[in-house]
A = this chain, B = another copy of it.
Amino acid sequence: MRFLLDAEQAEFGRTLGRMLAAADTPAAVRAWGAGDSGPGRAAWRRLAGAGVFGLAVPEKHEGAGLLPIELVVSFVELGRHAVPGPLAETVAAAVLLDRLGDADGLADTWLPAIAAGDAMVSYADLSRGPYALDAATADVTLLVDGDTLRASGGNGPVQPSVDPVRRLTRCAAGAVLASGPAVRAAAAQAADTARLLTAAQALGVGRRLLDDTVAYVKQRTQFGVAIGSFQAVKHRLADVLLALELAEPLVYGAAVELAGASQAGVAGSADATGVGIAMAKVAAGEAAYTAARAALQLHGALGYTDELDLSLWIRKARALRGAWGTPAECRARILPGPASAGAQIFHE
């Protein structure tokens, strides 16, 4: 056992981070929220060039194979740099299409395009809520409703999220693309993947909020000293670090489990993998929101302004906490009920 990123994986994350730091993602986020997806699209293509979307696509469809650990590494950076767009949704759609197989030509059509960064896919599981993310901007919107997969038949008005870069839309039901129990099973795997990647994004968001807040409290002075020297400030930030440091291994642990389950193609381990992902989502989602609350409070009024880029991450932390599984839903996945055996997580 070696539960640490390989040198290559770690370097991949650093490379992405440097690339995104140079890409002025805050400007892309603000443009996206205002309805101009151009700069966001440009970032998206650079990410595809770096191989990010190929990590969700099997080799026979011109991807690198489904590589959950590398996806998590990427999504932590996507969160850290607040990249806009239906990121987890596009990967989830790739998982869904791959699992459904090529019968209808869907996978042949879309998977290579996803890997190449040419297809931005909005994807919603209507059992989870009525809204699709960025459907008005995406190249295609896929909707799962029970055991039916459809294309969107048209987008309603944009319903802005508390994170204004997340442009939610209700979609009309369009053409049926596939149906049957395989759709339901594939959608469950897609949702688990989206949940894990949302957790990873949240982790990156939390890290960024902590870094920026630490930098701020070192230089902001009140009463003649840096506010970072006040014990109340120190302890609050220590608690944020603690939450992030303990969420991180859960996120990577779930990625390792998902990688194992994907390689083995084992359906039997899906339950345990789903539990691990649910744990990661609770911990990362709450850690990011804790970081956001601390960032807001310790920046004072400055942290409450839309003008400061910090707000991009504060708002995102709230939205990601609920996306693809609220804390309550995830806890229910961990302990489905005393009557059910559920997964025993530890020896009982």
Residue A218 at the B interface, CB < 8 A? no
Chain B residues whose CB sits within 8 angstroms of the CB of A235 once the complex forms: 232
A230 at the interface (CB under 8 A from B): yes
- Closest Cβ of chain B to A275, distance in Å, is 25
Separation in Å of the A208 CB from the closest CB of chain B?
A: 26
> A222 at the A/B interface (Cβ < 8 Å)?
no
> CB of A231 within 8 A of chain B?
yes
Question: What is the interface of chain A mostly: helix, strand, loop, or mixed?
Answer: helix
CA of A231 to CA of B236, assembled, Å = 12
Which residues of chain B have C-beta atoms less than 8 A from A230's C-beta? 231
Task: Please report the C-alpha to C-alpha distance between residue A208 and residue B38 in the assembled complex, in whole angstroms.
Answer: 64
Nearest chain B residue, comparing its CB with the CB of A230: B231
| Alpha-carbon separation in the docked complex, A231 to B230 (Å) | 7
- Report A302 CB to chain B, min CB distance, Å: 22
Residues in B whose Cβ lies below 8 Å from that of A231: 230-232
Which parts of A230-248 form the interface with B (CB within 8 Å)? Answer: 230-232, 235
Bound complex: CA A230 to CA B234 (Å): 12
A230 to B235, CA, bound (A): 12
CB neighbours of A232 from chain B (8 A) = 231-232, 235
Min distance, Cβ A230 to any Cβ of chain B, angstroms: 6
8 Å CB contacts to B: which residues of A30-76? none
**A230–B232 Cα gap in the complex (Å)?**
9
In the complex, chain A residues 176-234 whose Cβ is within 8 Å of any chain B Cβ: 230-232
> How far does the Cβ of A255 sit from chain B's closest Cβ, in whole Å?
36
**Chain B nearest Cβ from A204, distance in angstroms:** 30
User: Could you tell me the distance between the alpha carbons of A232 and B231 in the complex, rounded to whole angstroms?
Assistant: 6
The answer for the CA separation of A235 and B235 in the assembled complex, in Å, is 11
Closest Cβ neighbor of A235 among chain B residues: B232
Chain B residue at minimal CB-CB distance from A231: B231
Chain A, 255-293, CB within 8 A of any chain B CB: none
With the chains together, A102 CA to B235 CA distance in Å? 61
Shortest A222–chain B CB gap in Å is: 13
CA gap between A323 and B320 in the complex, in Å: 40
Report the bound CA distance from A230 to B231 in whole Å: 7
Q: How far is the CB of A181 from chain B (nearest CB, A)?
A: 34
Q: How far is the CA of A235 from the CA of B232 in the complex (A)?
A: 8
The complex places the Cα of A293 from the Cα of B103 at a distance, in Å, of: 63
Cα distance A79–B22 in the bound complex, in angstroms: 63
Contact bitstring A10-35, B, C-beta under 8 A = 1, else 0: 00000000000000000000000000
A229 to nearest B CB, angstroms? 10
- Nearest to A233 among chain B residues (CB) is B231
Roughly how many angstroms separate A232 CA and B239 CA in the complex, as a whole number?
A: 13
- A341 CB to nearest chain B CB (Å): 25
Interface flags for A115-134 (1: CB within 8 Å of B; 0: not) read 00000000000000000000
**Bound state CA distance, A231 and B234, in angstroms?**
10
Bound together, the chains give a CA A241 to CA B230 distance in angstroms of 21
List of 5 A-B pairs having minimum Cβ-Cβ separation, nearest first = A231-B231, A231-B232, A232-B235, A230-B231, A232-B232
The 5 listed contacts between A and B (C-beta, < 8 Å) are A230-B231, A231-B231, A231-B232, A232-B232, A232-B235
